[in-house]
Amino acid sequence: MNAFWIILTGALVATSCGLLGTFLILRKMAMVGDAISHAVLPGIVIAYLLSESRDVLPMLIGAAALGVLTTFMIEFLYQKARLQIDASIGITFTWLFAIGIILISLYAGQVDLDQDCVLYGEIAYVPLDLWITESGRLLGPRPVWILSGVLALILLIIILGYRGLKITTFDPEYAAAVGISTVFWHYLLMSAVSVTTVVAFESVGAILVVAFLIVPPATAYLLTEKLHNMLLLTVGLGILTAVSGYYLAVWIDGSVAGAMAVSSGVFLLLAVLFSPSTGVLTQRFRQQAIPVPAQGYKER
């Protein structure tokens, strides 16, 4: 039963992150998730100082607030300061992360308070974090319920806002011309990314969240040129990664999160080699299959 809960948690995180990561990949903002994972540290410290508690809820609220602030700062530097998007991301997360370190050294130096103990969870411990009601009823792991709610919210945003997200992703100038707010859809997407990554950090760890945000969508990007197919492929690859990664971890007796991240990399490598349109080996096979004209033949 523990295996089921671990795989289900991994699949929920992979699906949630992958759906959002698809739009990040297409918008060339894939490293936003990694930036958020560093930039939320001040929010964690401030939440601790205000609540005087290391409970999960205030930590998540503080981290989520800083995650949203991170996206606003990145966009401000990109739009107003005219910096490149990668430079904006790098500046924002290093600056906020440094502020978090200073706050810890000044106000929480004697407290076991850092990203590792607050948000960098371990997916193998999910079956131990049970939700038990006041009447004593066991409802299963708490992270599964939280991540299911997050996934439902993401699906609602994508289903209802598919047209807006699609147009603002591929042709923001046209979207602005027809009256679709690019700013609204951008910040809605970034807010969803912030909340999803922060919630998932506490359950599965930052490395796995970033991997699921980037690798399955990038793999699907190599396999199709249609957005809806890319979304479906991303979900399928994410679930397959969660299953194969878990059994790889069991086989090698290693980290489950690490094995899932490695598994996602293996699928990406296979897509790089065998993608129908851009695969390295696929193109080589096609070149070898082209008949060579006989000697002396001249094309008219």
**CATH classification at residue 79:** 1.10.3470.10
Three-state DSSP at 113 gives coil
Q: What is the pTM of this model?
A: 0.84
Is 42 contained in some domain?
yes
Q: Does residue 251 lie within any of the structural domains?
A: no
Residue 242 lies in a domain: no
Residue 243 lies in a domain: no
Name 224's Cβ contacts closer than 8 Å, sequence gap at least 6.
Answer: 230, 233
What range does the domain containing 47 cover? 2-126+133-207
Residue 215 lies in a domain: no
Report the run of H or E that residue 131 belongs to, with start and end: strand 130-132
Number of domains in the chain: 1
pLDDT one digit per residue (tens) for the chain, 300 residues? 688 989 999 999 999 999 999 999 998 888 887 787 778 778 878 887 888 776 667 777 887 788 888 888 888 888 888 888 888 888 888 898 888 888 877 876 555 554 454 445 578 778 877 777 777 777 788 888 889 999 999 999 999 999 999 999 998 888 888 888 888 998 888 888 888 887 887 778 778 888 999 999 999 999 998 999 999 999 999 999 999 999 999 999 888 888 999 999 999 999 999 888 777 887 788 777 766 555 544 444
Residue 230 resides in a domain: no
Q: Residue 48 domain-assigned?
A: yes
Longest pairwise C-alpha distance within the chain: 89
Is residue 6 domain-resident?
yes
Amino acid identity for residue 223 in this structure: L
The region, left, alpha or beta by phi > 0 then psi within -120 to 50, assigned to residue 276 is alpha
d(CA 52, CA 162): 41
